[in-house]
Structure 1
Amino acid sequence: MSNALTIEAPEGLPFIDSTREFDAPVPAVFRAHADPDLVRRWMGPRGYTMDVGAWDFRSGGSWSFVHRNPAGEEFRFRGTFHTVRQDRFAVQTFEYEGVPDVVSIESLTFEPLPAGPGGGSRTRLRIHAVYPSVEARDGMVASGMEGGMREGYEQLEELLRDQADG
């Protein structure tokens, strides 16, 4: 995959910065984060299913979903969309219900990039996630978050490619 996910978790600081580029225009990448039918198709590790309980991608909206792995284990997540600016920016809370009372605040920035070698539009997604403590941040890193994010964004890249071809 040419568009690698970069994750930085600086020593002693309670945040994680993630960056991923996509071979698609900002509106397509933003819509894939806003539309629950699209989110269901790409978010999370390969082989997991996702049931969306709520996905109100607007300022003041809420979200919840359940991931199920192939063994049938459930992982529940929820949060609130605090600020959403069309095709530009979103701020949300993120909570894994398996570790209650640990809520991160995430900023997602959608940046247009110059056209790639094939001439198509490109997008850089930057995520800055702040945790209540370094220990909470380290727990998230240790949870396998990176693998799930990597696989999810690979699936998003595939979805965006399929939509552009279709």
Structure 2
Amino acid sequence: MAETNLIAESGKQDIVISREFDAPQDLVFKACTDPGLVSQWWGPKGVTTTVEKMDTRPGGMWRAVQRDAEGNEYAFHGVYHEVTPGRIVDTFEYDAMPGHVLLETETLEDLGGGRTKLTDHLIFQSVEDRDGMLQAGSQEEMIEPLERLAGLLQSLKQAASAR
């Protein structure tokens, strides 16, 4: 089983999360840019995610709302800066904390043999913002979505091979 790695060095304003998937780059890219697929894996356990907007063009906006079992809502939004099969660059902002914007760069590296490495580099405006994100959501909550993405990719591959 592939392992998800999270690096958050003390005193730095970034987080790097990476994972290898047993899926081709184009399928991983689709799972990261198709609102119907993103809603199936993005977010921590115990929440449902609704992608309200996802215009995956440079300058296009995205917005997603997560709801927990108690009915609490957590909304996030951002703007895409670059969208290619190998790289997605966007901003990320939690609606409840306006002005605390981070820059996210997802790199999708084709490893050959139908495998892809996704590296998610999050750059915060300050070390304090980065540490706040780590405290608000445990590192486990940041890793769980990629575990669900791996399961979704396997399901998509099986469905495609059954056709």
TM norm structure 2 = 0.92
1:60 aligns with 2:53: no
Match of 2:102 in 1: 104
- Aligned match of 2:137 in 121, 133, 144? 144
1:12 aligns with 2:5: no
Return structure 1 stretches of 4+ with deviation > 3 angstroms. Answer: none
Does 146-155 or 125-134 show the bigger shift? Answer: 146-155
1:31 aligns with 2:30: yes
Preserved CA contact (<8 Å) 2:48 2:68: yes
Match of 2:127 in 1: 134
Q: Equivalents in 1 of 2:110, 2:14: separation in Å?
A: 24
Q: Which secondary structure state, in structure 1, belongs to the residue aligned with residue 157 of structure 2?
A: helix
Aligned-pair distance for 1:48?
1.2
Preserved CA contact (<8 Å) 2:89 2:105: yes
After superposition, the CA RMSD in angstroms is: 1.2
Q: Which secondary structure state, in structure 1, belongs to the residue aligned with residue 49 of structure 2?
A: strand
Q: Which secondary structure state, in structure 1, belongs to the residue aligned with residue 45 of structure 2?
A: coil
Does 15-24 or 142-151 show the bigger shift? Answer: 142-151
Q: Which runs of 5+ in 2 are unaligned?
A: none
Aligned-pair distance for 1:139?
0.4
Q: Which secondary structure state, in structure 2, belongs to the residue aligned with residue 65 of structure 1?
A: strand
Aligned-pair distance for 1:46?
2.5
Q: Superposition pairs for residues 71-86 of structure 1, below 5 Å?
A: 71-85=70-84
Aligned-pair distance for 1:47?
2.7
Q: Equivalents in 2 of 1:15, 1:25: separation in Å?
A: 27
1:122 aligns with 2:115: yes
Q: Using the aligned pairs only, state the percent identity.
A: 40
Q: Which secondary structure state, in structure 1, belongs to the residue aligned with residue 107 of structure 2?
A: strand
Aligned-pair distance for 1:152?
1.2
Does 137-146 or 123-132 show the bigger shift? Answer: 137-146
